Structure 1
Amino acid sequence: MAPIKITDSETGSTAHILPELGFNCYQFQAMVDDQSIDVIDAHPEFQYGKQRPSSSGIPILFPFPNRIANARFQWEGVNYELPTDKVYHDNNGNAIHGFCLDQPWRVIAQEETFAIGQFQLSIDGKHLSKYWPGDIFIEVKYEIRGAMLRADFRIGNPGQTSVPWGLGTHPYFKVPLSEQGSLQNCLIEAPATEEWVLENSLPTGEKQAVQKPHDLREGAWLDQLKADHVLSGLPEETDQYECLVMDEQGGLVISQDYDSLFSELVVFTPPNRNCVCLEPYTCVTNAINLTRKDVETGLRVLPPGSEIKTWIEIRAGKVIV
């Protein structure tokens, strides 16, 4: 697979993207005062297609993030089942992470500082089209600006019927951020006040106040954080959110800012790896099934001929004392 490289020539910051593997940005090296910060974690063989597509970099989860229970759902009276030979499943038989994280995307524009990729179900995923209620596309523009990687998303419905959708990203942030750092001195912060109650990784439909082990509002030390939870209850009075990975010993911080359209945040600490996943989602896990139970899930429906835009920014910098 041939990666795309984008560069900010003034600072030397670079990112590498794999169009053939879900347009995954699997490497982002940010220059901060002439110091190179390796922001994103990826298995050494990931770029050769020898690891799970969801295991490294920034997998793009669309048209549903996380799981669909039992790989089945109903939409407008039609039953859909997502087979194991078409869509990834977890160990409990739930479909997981959407249709496009392992599929080739079309590169529709590229210059030194940016690249734009597009995946449309009826063009790039014809073998998947019958498993979703209608045609839909996602377009992602990755751009380097100094020590920042920005992703602009455009989701559109080119078809004749309304289509449900959800979007998530699954970034693996490398920790610590410096040779001087350690997991014991890496702090994770996020503003969520609630969490979804889970059973076997699936929301029951109920929320509760964020439990102390998962409360990141004042920060949590990474060596003490064991998480695979869906946080919610983000502040309503703002149009964007921020979560942080801070390497106190190295004096470095990674901030992830994102549009308030991303109403949920999955926090995942992969076992036996020096990384943490802070995953913005526009809807909760299994939203397409929970919506039938009149639960507010964040699932959106795109009318024919319409589109919607959103964004995420990942920035490296120095800790300001």
Structure 2
Amino acid sequence: MPDGARPPRGSGALLAPWPNRVAGGRWTWQGKDQQLALTEPAAGNAIHGLLRQSFFRPVARSESSVTLEAIVPPQNGWPQPVRVAVTYSLDDGLTVRTEATNEGTGEIPFGLGFHPYLRVGDTPTDDCTLTLAARAALPLVDQLPGGPLEPLPADHPLRAGALLQGQRLDHAFGDCEPGVAHRLIAPDGSGTELWTDPAFRWVQVFTPDDMPGHGRGVAVEPMTCPPDALSSGTDLVVLAPGESWSASWGVRPVREAPRR
């Protein structure tokens, strides 16, 4: 990217203290109504947490890793400070470990997500096959939950492996199977898999057409909670004052049999 340019389409963004959207930016915590800034103004929602515009400072580094840290300060719609430290490590792939600590005087909920795009070298996205570890789909209406989880059978294309050509996705999935990774596979069998700790029970898949230099892209976004979780409470972690929580995910190369 040119100096000073933002990564396109949220590439690589850390989404905390909640991922995805909060409907109308409104939620309630311990009997008090909260109103977040509407950072998705066209739709009237708060989106992807409170750290996307924040500066992270390096607090540790080695030849193969770096740890960055930022604080979510108290503000309109968010009553307690949360410190978020993320460590990026390179080994046989990339491992991303995040630790969140409640720095406030009262309990606070927490959710986490990331916004990575997967690629297999220079293979066009439309030539690749995507396989998800999710066992259910979350119906969305205007990108917010529109009904209960719907089971995805084992032979569903996105569980068995779906060619991305012709797919237009901006969909949420849940009940991710522990120990099973999401995979993007090229026709020759080379691929990239995104593995997660069991805490990441949700995933959003997004296929924009306008990734600079690449056209179509595919974001596979691991999330610890679903869209609008601050309102529903689904799968939120509640941190007591001084309490910490951590979870990891990563990407690594894989190989399967070539596609026939």
TM-score relative to the length of structure 1 = 0.73
1:159 to 104, 107, 116: 104
Q: Match for residue 28 of structure 2?
A: 74
Q: Structure 1 residues 90, 223: CA separation in 2 closer, same or farther (over 3 Å shift)? A: farther
Q: Structure 1 residues 75, 138: CA separation in 2 closer, same or farther (over 3 Å shift)? A: same
Shift in Å at residue 209 of structure 1? 2.3
* Residues 113 and 221, structure 2, Cα contact 8 Å, conserved in 1: yes
2:171 to 223, 229, 237: 229
* Residues 168 and 282, structure 1, Cα contact 8 Å, conserved in 2: yes
Runs of 4+ that moved beyond 6 A: 211-214
2:216 to 274, 280, 296: 274
Shift in Å at residue 56 of structure 1? 4.3
Cα deviation, 1:249-290, whole Å, max 9, x if unaligned, reads: 3x4210111001001111111134331011110000001112
Shift in Å at residue 184 of structure 1? 4.5
Q: Match for residue 113 of structure 2?
A: 168
Shift in Å at residue 133 of structure 1? 2.7
Pairing of 1:1-321 with structure 2 (within 5 A): 44-45=1-2, 48-49=4-5, 51=6, 55-84=9-38, 88-122=39-73, 129-146=75-92, 148-174=93-119, 177-178=121-122, 181-210=123-152, 215-235=157-177, 238=178, 240-249=179-188, 251-272=189-210, 273-291=215-233, 297-319=234-256
* Alignment partners' CA distance in 1, 2:180 and 2:241: 29
Cα deviation, 1:149-208, whole Å, max 9, x if unaligned, reads: 11111111122211101000010123x523xx4444311011212111211110034111
One-letter code of the match for 1:172? Y
* Residues 125 and 218, structure 2, Cα contact 8 Å, conserved in 1: no
Shift in Å at residue 110 of structure 1? 1.6
Cα deviation, 1:6-51, whole Å, max 9, x if unaligned, reads: xxxxxxxxxxxxxxxxxxxxxxxxxxxxxxxxxxxxxx34x513x4
* Alignment partners' CA distance in 2, 1:283 and 1:185: 30
Q: Structure 1 residues 188, 99: CA separation in 2 closer, same or farther (over 3 Å shift)? A: same
TM-score relative to the length of structure 2 = 0.89
* Residues 172 and 275, structure 1, Cα contact 8 Å, conserved in 2: yes
Q: What is the SS of the residue equivalent to 1:73?
A: strand
* Residues 210 and 231, structure 1, Cα contact 8 Å, conserved in 2: no
One-letter code of the match for 2:95? R
Q: Structure 1 residues 221, 143: CA separation in 2 closer, same or farther (over 3 Å shift)? A: same
- Normalized per residue, which structure has more helix? 1
Q: Name the structure, 1 or 2, with higher relative contact order (CA <8 Å, separation 6+).
A: 2
Q: What is the SS of the residue equivalent to 1:223?
A: coil
* Alignment partners' CA distance in 1, 2:207 and 2:131: 14
User: In the comparison of the two structures, how many residue pairs are matched?
Assistant: 254
Shift in Å at residue 211 of structure 1? 8.4
Q: Match for residue 30 of structure 1?
A: none
Structure 1 unaligned blocks of 5 or more? 1-43, 123-127, 292-296
Q: Structure 1 residues 113, 214: CA separation in 2 closer, same or farther (over 3 Å shift)? A: same
One-letter code of the match for 2:130? I
